[in-house]
Amino acid sequence: MAAPLPQSVLFCCDYNAVRSPMAEGIMKKLYGTGTYVQSAGVKSDQDIDGFSIAVCKEIGVELSRHRVRSFDEMEQWGDDLGSFDMVVALSPASQRRALELTRIYHLDVLYWPIMDPTGLGETRAAKMTAYRQSRDQILAHMTERWGDPRGENT
């Protein structure tokens, strides 16, 4: 049985340039505006990844306007991690950081081991295949957790 949608969720990964922006965009597209969704990274010294933009565009998810941000920048900008119902870490480093930052809050930190597609594949086609695999892993975790967005569980 699908879990109820959280009121707010933060997706996080290493740089907020590949996996967590994909998760943020996919969540917003699939489950609508009933859940406040953001993403962050342990670091933010990269721009949004072009392959992430491309594979999400294939499923109607727009990422080209995504602004990369770190946990530290979130705090500087006044976003309180304690205001989220759930944090979903998509990499081991982001899971460690999320657990460290949320130890004083009562909220769930989930870990979804999503493959890092950066550096995989020699050709554009091979790289796109790797990024699609990561995108599809995110989709599978979401539908397993919250049900089919077209069904009655949302």
Residues near 64 by beta carbon (within 8 Å), at least 6 away in sequence: 48, 53
- For residue 119, the tally of other CB atoms under 10 A from its CB is 7
In the chain, where the domains are located: 8-146
Cβ-contact 98, 69 below 8 angstroms: no
The 10s digit of each residue's pLDDT in 90-134 is 999 999 988 888 887 778 899 999 999 998 999 999 999 999 999
Q: Is the pLDDT of residue 77 over 80?
A: no
Residues near 102 by beta carbon (within 8 Å), at least 6 away in sequence: 81, 82, 87, 109
89: phi then psi, degrees, rounded to nearest 5: -90, 135
Q: How confident is the model at residue 154 (pLDDT cuts 50, 70, 90)?
A: very low
Mean pLDDT of 137-146: 96
Superfamily of domain 8-146: Response regulator (3.40.50.2300)
Would you state the pLDDT for residue 151? 61
Mean pLDDT of 136-145: 96
Would you state the pLDDT for residue 152? 44
Q: Is the pLDDT of residue 150 over 80?
A: no
Would you state the pLDDT for residue 56? 97
The 10s digit of each residue's pLDDT in 23-73 is 999 999 999 878 999 999 998 778 899 999 999 999 999 999 999 999 888
